[in-house]
Structure 1
């Protein structure tokens, strides 16, 4: 069964975090949520999330995917955490998937994971001038470039999660999860 790590930082975007956790688990992906600090995580709009574990407890584990929810100041907390940066760099060097949505692609850029890649993010959250080695596609809701996947924001969270399912499982699994969500009219 594929595995995914979702680090949760105070001020994360709850819609993105919960959508990712829920949809990936529907696809039989083993999802581990890890808080940067012990205890509950208060998201950007006051929703309190309880992580499965702490980041310290999973630092030596390997995951098929590390995916970062956005939101502010959640993405800033992720970017300022040396453990998160080291995990992303290790993930990238091993050729495993790294993904981020909303403001969190800035964390991937800061870690060097977006160097030479095409990516997207929430408008204004990643200054192209700060990362000239990254090509930004701000028209696409989800951008896949090799083992790096980025997305625009809360409104694209479901599309983002479904794309991750397709990459970690397959198209049939993605379609099955999407049918269960009753997203398609036909």
Structure 2
């Protein structure tokens, strides 16, 4: 069974976080949500209260196939300010594991030096091309380059989650989940 770590920071984008958790679990992917603090209760960017499965410290040494960062503000800034997140991103990258970031969260990957030479999608204005000349920016809803999957924002969260299913599992599982969601 594939495993995914989703860190939840205060001020994360709730549509992205909940969509990722829900859709990936529909594919029977083991998703672990982790609070950056000792409090498992997180207040998302629009005031929605989320409850994490564990603290980041409790699962930091566990093995996962992928880590996915929800965006939103100030959630993305909180992720970016946490050195444990940067250490995990480097560990996953060095182990050739999947990484994902949506909305403003590709900024965390950029600050970690993980986007150089890659095609990336993100929320408009979250990363300014003139400040990141080594990154190729795309307006596509979802971009997969190397083992990094990025996406534009709340409206692309479903497609982002389905793409993660396809990469971690297979196209058939993606199609089964997509059909059950009545997307088309």
Q: Which runs of 4+ in 1 moved over 6 A?
A: none
Aligned to 1:104: 105
SS at match of 2:124: coil
Aligned to 2:37: 37
- Residue 182 of structure 2 corresponds to residue 182 of structure 1: yes
Distance 1:6 1:130 in 2: 27
Q: TM-score, normalised by structure 2?
A: 0.98
Equivalent positions of 1:5-44 (< 5 A) are: 5-39=5-39, 40-44=41-45
Displacement after TM superposition at 1:130 (Å)? 2.3
Aligned to 2:156: 156
Distance 2:114 2:59 in 1: 20
Give the alignment's Cα RMSD to 1 decimal. Answer: 0.7
Give the aligned length: 183
Displacement after TM superposition at 1:115 (Å)? 1.5
Aligned to 1:168: 168
Distance 1:130 1:56 in 2: 33
Distance 1:111 1:129 in 2: 18
- Post-superposition Cα deviations, 1:107-126, rounded to whole Å, max 9, x if no partner, equal 01111111221101000011
Runs of 5+ in structure 2 lacking a partner?
Answer: none
Distance 2:53 2:97 in 1: 22
Equivalent positions of 1:7-156 (< 5 A) are: 7-39=7-39, 40-137=41-138, 139-156=139-156
Runs of 5+ in structure 1 lacking a partner?
Answer: none
Q: TM-score, normalised by structure 1?
A: 0.97
Distance 2:68 2:32 in 1: 11
